[in-house]
């Protein structure tokens, strides 16, 4: 598990953009079950997340058409929530970062 001081700025990058954290498996299920389009991002400390995923997701929201709901989980930190999110991503294999529309 990654240390909190390392993870928090990376979490905040999406939260400050309007994403809501899912910290438990139940919150993941509740988020995905909502009506309307749900964007779920598996955030990560890796360079792929920093260099492409977070900037790309943020850029994708700079348009008039946006998903109704924005959620995120953090790999290597919110372990149970990430495991639950990845169950919904099936049949795609686990990856960090990862992005899915429901």
48 is catalytic: yes
Q: Which residues contact 88 (CB under 8 A, 6 or more apart)?
A: 28, 32, 40, 100, 102
pTM over 0.85: yes
22 is catalytic: no
Given CA atoms 5, 56, 59, 29 in this order, what sign does their dihedral have? negative
Of 48, 52, 68, 79, which one is the catalytic site residue? Answer: 48
Q: How many C-beta neighbours within 10 Å does residue 79 have?
A: 12
pLDDT in tens, 32-87: 999 999 999 999 999 999 999 999 999 999 999 999 999 999 999 999 999 999 99
Of 8, 15, 45, 46, which one is the catalytic site residue? Answer: 46
């Amino acid at each position: 598990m990654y240390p909190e001081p390392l993870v928090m700025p990376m979490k905040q990058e999406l939260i400050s953009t309007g994403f809501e954290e899912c910290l438990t498996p139940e919150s993941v299920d509740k988020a995905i079950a909502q009506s309307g389009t749900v964007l779920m991002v598996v955030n990560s400390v890796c360079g792929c997340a920093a260099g492409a995923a977070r900037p790309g997701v943020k850029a994708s929201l700079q348009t008039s058409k946006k998903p109704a709901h924005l959620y995120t989980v953090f790999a290597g930190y919110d372990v149970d929530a990430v495991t639950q999110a990845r169950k919904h991503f099936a049949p795609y294999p686990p990856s960090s970062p990862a992005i899915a529309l429901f």
